[in-house]
Amino acid sequence: MTSHSFHLYLYGPQRGPIGQSFEQAQERLEKLPGLFFELDGSFAWMQKPGSNEIYGILYDAAGGIQYCDLHGRCTLETVRQLFHALAGDEVSGLEVLLLPERDLQDFQTFENRWSQASLD
């Protein structure tokens, strides 16, 4: 699979909360091999230096994750693993705001465009 560089904000449905508590996401994130999580919500995941590296921070309020700021370079499969760790089984309703373009996409569109970019 092809690696891509990216910067995005991850939201829940209709740009709302992701639907998981900080603690739920933290527990799943800490199970990913090579992921380092800080109690302020920042994390770094380095599976393969130079090709699969993601840096992020969780923003939580009112008992849930409001959004997550992510940037790095990785494969689509790595992004999928991270999104599942952040949102549990509720990834289909996630929305992705690509930066700096400010292009808002649902998760399926994001996956399709990533896959298409890999073919180009």
Looking at the structure of the chain, the number of domains it has is 1
Q: Is the pLDDT of residue 22 over 90?
A: yes
Nearest to 70 by CA among 79, 62, 61, 89: 79
DSSP 103: E
Q: Is the pLDDT of residue 31 over 90?
A: yes
- Output the CA–CA distances (angstroms, integers) from residue 16 to 12, 60, 61, 96, in the order listed: 5, 12, 12, 11
pTM score of the predicted model:
0.92
Domain CATH number, residue 22: 3.30.310
Q: Is the pLDDT of residue 46 over 90?
A: yes
Domain residues for the domain of 95 are 4-119
**Average pLDDT of the segment spanning 25-32:** 96
Residue 2 binned pLDDT confidence (cut-offs 50, 70, 90): confident
Secondary structure, 3-state, 34-91: CEEECCCCEEEEEEECCCEEEEEEEEEECCEEEEEEEEEEECHHHHHHHHHHHHCCCH
Cα–Cα distance measured from residue 113 to residue 6, given in angstroms and rounded to the nearest whole number: 13
Tokens of 65: 């994750």
| Chain segment 72-119, per-residue pLDDT in tens | 999 999 999 999 999 998 888 999 999 999 999 999 999 999 988 866
